[in-house]
Amino acid sequence: MNPLINRYSTQDQLSPFVSDTFKVSQKLTLEFGLRWDFYSVPTYKDGLMYNLNPTTNQVIVSQKGLSAISPLYPSNINVVAGNPVPSPDLHNLRPRVSAAYRLNDKTVIRGGYGEFTESFGWDSWLNSGGPYQISQTYTNTITNGVPLLTFPNAFPSNLSLAAIPNQSIIAYPQHQDFGAIRQYNVTLEREWHNFGLRASYIGTRGSGLNYGVNVDVPMPSTTPFTASEYPFFPFTGVTEYRQDGQLRYNSSQLELQRRIGSFTIDAHWTWSNTMYNYGILENPYNLDRWERDPYARRQYFPISTSWAIPFGHGRSHLANSSGVVDALAGGWNLQTISTLASGTYFSPTFTGTNPSNTNTSGGLPDCLANGNLPSGKRTWNQWFNPAAFAIPQPGQFGNCGGDTLVGPGIYVLHASLSKDFHITERLKATLTGQVSNVLNHPSMGDGTPPTPNTAINQPNPGQFTAEEPYYNPERQGARQVGLKLRLAW
């Protein structure tokens, strides 16, 4: 390969906005705003970009790029001069509005609506490689005791000796069009018998979202696959970026806060459902298939508590104790964080076969029944029922939906005990003892999201083979005990 080095890429971003807050009355406040997002298409300063026109199956390069095409690029791929850079989107006007209305001294209702421009990373629109960088493989042979390749000149000047891999390419739309994400919510807040209560509905709708799908896949059939069946032959893979992705999110949320003397509790409960239509991409001829978000949980219930243990100077008990007693028993603070949640979602799979005859291996199987076992029958060795699935019939892709199986939930408690020691007027030490996963509840499934063996045609489908690591957000790994001392001055 002759790599392109010292490349310099640029992208312009501009997001001006205006906002204002207007107090309509003593009870009603309105806030509104408007934002315009401009993101230019990232480009290389050397001008060596490319694109594919799927209609004509032509690779588009700049006029300058014609002279930089690798001599190893297959000659049966049609390359033409043109503008490979999509035009930027100029229509990203995003309004926002919110309101708060005080019903009485203890009750407030709030609501809001806002639109946001889809965040689609700059590198997702930046083509590199393509016809300008071609990897090549040389196989050394020995004829009459003479090797074909020798050091220090291990690469021959005869390029016909190089083995060139199959070529794939990315096809960007000629016009950049970022999707819109619309979020809205309504919340009722009330103080009730020294409890702070909040109930909310939160929704999101996404439309026109960008995603990539391999469209260089023949129609599924019972005819064995041959390379000539690639729709974009001689390419063996064409990732086409489409702009019709949709996302739907709905959730209900409840929150409770209460302070009782030196004890504080804060508890949240979320019930949610997230669906999107750009996750099942194995069959580009049938993309109108919705699936659950594999990272979302139907229910999520975190609880945090803080207790200033009432012993020691300045507290309700032992306030006049000696310095020794106060140092041992006074001034301690106990904090806990508990998380209870239902499982994330995952899909059953099959491997190693190509029933659709599209040169793809594995994918979603056929669904014969609900593969989720009753909660009382789930074990780490058999989390779902593999008999509920089958390898697809010849000439077909699997009919299972995506992420239909529910993984293990979260049941974890963390606690810490801390105390401040004032050594001098300016020097303070904080001693903290902490225990993660206090109950040492096992959490299986090494992955994000955590899943067992999903392949129905492999040994032990539904079996977990690893435990959750400690570094995941809820710290579900095996119990850990720590002690630390912090000095501050």
Closest C-alpha among 120, 103, 165, 99 to residue 138: 165
pTM: 0.86
Give the per-residue pLDDT at 157: 67
CA distances from 3 to 25, 69, 166, 187, 319 (A): 66, 12, 18, 55, 73
DSSP run (H or E) holding 65: helix 63-66
Rounded to whole angstroms, the Cα distance separating 195 from 471 reads 34
Give SS3 for 444.
strand
Q: Classify strands 180-192 and 195-214 as parallel, antiparallel or unpaired.
A: antiparallel
Closest C-alpha among 8, 11, 1, 86 to residue 47: 8
Q: Letter for the amino acid at 45?
A: K
Token pair, residue 424, equals: 């001098």
User: CA torsion 273→274→277→278, rounded to 10°?
Assistant: -150
Q: How confident is the model at residue 247 (pLDDT cuts 50, 70, 90)?
A: very high
Closest C-alpha among 284, 259, 283 to residue 54: 284
Rounded to whole angstroms, the Cα distance separating 440 from 418 reads 21
Contact 383, 408 (CB under 8 A): yes
Residue ranges per structural domain of the chain: 1-174+212-243, 261-489
Query: 384-394 b/e with 16+ CB inside 10 Å = b?
Result: bbbebbbbbee
Give the per-residue pLDDT at 163: 66
Q: What average pLDDT does the segment 75-96 reach?
A: 94
pLDDT tens digits, 198-211: 999 999 999 999 99
How many degrees, rounded to 5, is the angle at CA 131 between CA 129 and CA 134? 70
pLDDT(383) > 60: yes
> How crowded is residue 140: how many other Cβ atoms within 10 Å of its Cβ?
9
Nearest-Å Rg of the Cα atoms of the chain is 30
Asked if the bond preceding 3 is cis, omega within 30° of 0, the reply is: no
Give the per-residue pLDDT at 424: 87
Mean pLDDT, the chain, as a whole number? 91
**What are the residue ranges of helices labelled H in 319-409?**
323-329
Q: Letter for the amino acid at 398?
A: G
> How crowded is residue 89: how many other Cβ atoms within 10 Å of its Cβ?
20
76-82 CB contacts, 8 Å cutoff, 24+ apart:
76/234, 77/131, 77/167, 77/234, 77/235, 79/131
Rounded to whole angstroms, the Cα distance separating 7 from 3 reads 10
Closest C-alpha among 74, 72, 105, 78 to residue 2: 72
Q: Classify strands 107-117 and 480-488 as parallel, antiparallel or unpaired.
A: unpaired
pLDDT(248) > 90: yes
User: CA torsion 221→225→228→234, rounded to 10°?
Assistant: 110
pLDDT tens digits, 145-166: 888 778 877 666 666 666 677 8
Closest C-alpha among 59, 99, 109, 67 to residue 83: 59
pLDDT(30) > 60: yes
pLDDT tens digits, 258-311: 998 899 999 999 999 999 999 999 999 999 899 999 999 999 999 999 999 999
pLDDT tens digits, 402-412: 999 999 999 99
Give the per-residue pLDDT at 148: 79
Give SS3 for 375.
helix
Closest C-alpha among 334, 352, 359, 212 to residue 284: 212
Q: What average pLDDT does the segment 83-88 reach?
A: 93
